[in-house]
Amino acid sequence: MPLDPFGRDINYLRISLTDRCNLRCVYCMPLKGLQFTANEELLSADEIHTVVRAAAELGFRKIRFTGGEPALRHDLLDIVRRTASVDGISDVGMTTNAILLPRMIDDLVSAGLRRINIHVDTLDPENLRRTMRFASSDDIWTGIRAASDAGLNPIKINTVVVQNYNEEDVASLAGLTLAYDWHVRFIELMPLGGGGCAQMALSQYVPNAETRRRIEAEHGLLTSLDTGDPSDESRNFRLKGGRGVVGFISPVSEPYCGTCNRMRLTADGKFHLCLLRDDEIDVKCALRSGGGQDRVKSLLLQAVQNKPTGHSLEQGISTEHRGMFQIGG
């Protein structure tokens, strides 16, 4: 398995399939002025398959498909099926807003999808529309039920907490773990991509310590859990009497860079070395100039060896060229 210069075992590849999304969450995508990658500039299913096979040969074991919204890819089933068939890949997951899941979830599971993360910022229908613009609470919950019925348990719910939008809704979300064996995880807002979304991240940031205080004020003290996975970015807890897990992902207030095991592939074919930095290596150019699996392996090893030790938010440095929807989280 590939070790980076800081002794981290990099074995998890997050692959963005598109920068398009059917929502416009206030902290991620503006309503106007967006420019998306042309379809012909996205990595094809064949190119993604080549990258996955190269990654597996190097010791990568875990793949997660992200977006934008990955369910917008017309060839998603083919990509999942081919990925799950690669020797050495033992874990295929996807992050989604769940809206399109009901029509495809059974086929995705048959193709080899094993885990799913679903983005939900609030249980309040009106606040959901305000925060996750274009979203319908009914549509998302229909998607969550479809994923659960298809056996993708425990479902992970991802919530980005934004001041003046949903910080008062966190206790009700955490309360889902009393009834379900789900993982509900609260994610700190990160200043990505410059512009208005990055400014919002700076001005309306809510530290997870505050989110935890709100949850404990409603539900009582949380009990710490040890997942046994040092690369888990979430600090995990359980409510008294809870079936599921309450998690806190705190890249700003409690960075977990020292145990990061992830590499990211953008939809337009760049290895993105750190979520919160602009360092990238172009793999699409190599693929489209005749480079095959061995060339991809070489570039991926280069990416691992050049992976930064951590982000530089404390120095006021973050990615300026890509927003979250262009990286994939």
Domains annotated on the chain, with CATH: 12-326 (3.20.20.70)
CB atoms within 10 A of CB 285: 12
The whole-number pLDDT of residue 190 equals: 82
Sheet with strand 91-96: strands edge to edge = 223-224, 235-238, 245-249, 183-188, 156-161, 115-119, 91-96, 62-66, 12-16, 262-265, 270-272, 280-282
d(CA 240, CA 221): 8
**pTM of the predicted model, to two decimals?**
0.94
The percent of residues above 90 in pLDDT, for the chain, comes to 79
d(CA 15, CA 264): 6
What SS3 class is residue 88? coil
User: What is the average pLDDT value for the chain, to the nearest integer?
Assistant: 93
The whole-number pLDDT of residue 329 equals: 67
**Which pLDDT band holds residue 256 (cuts at 50, 70, 90)?**
confident
d(CA 35, CA 167): 30
Strand 223-224 to strand 115-119: parallel, antiparallel, or no bridges (unpaired)? Answer: unpaired
Query: What value does the mean pLDDT take over residues 77-93?
Result: 98
DSSP run (H or E) holding 201: helix 195-203
In the chain, what is the greatest distance between 2 CA atoms, to the nearest angstrom? 59
d(CA 93, CA 90): 10
Q: Are 158 and 119 in contact (CB under 8 A)?
A: yes
- The verdict on whether omega for the bond into residue 241 sits within 30 degrees of 0, i.e. cis, is no
The percent of residues above 70 in pLDDT, for the chain, comes to 94
- Could you tell me how far CA 26 lies from the centroid of its own chain? 17
pLDDT at 197 over 90: no
The whole-number pLDDT of residue 278 equals: 82
The whole-number pLDDT of residue 319 equals: 62
Query: What value does the mean pLDDT take over residues 164-172?
Result: 97
Give residue 49's identity as a one-letter amino acid code: H
The residue that leads in pLDDT, 154 or 324, is 154
The whole-number pLDDT of residue 326 equals: 74
Query: What value does the mean pLDDT take over residues 49-56?
Result: 98
d(CA 256, CA 252): 9
Measured over the CA atoms of residue 70, residue 72, residue 73 and residue 74, the dihedral's sign is: positive
d(CA 221, CA 217): 8
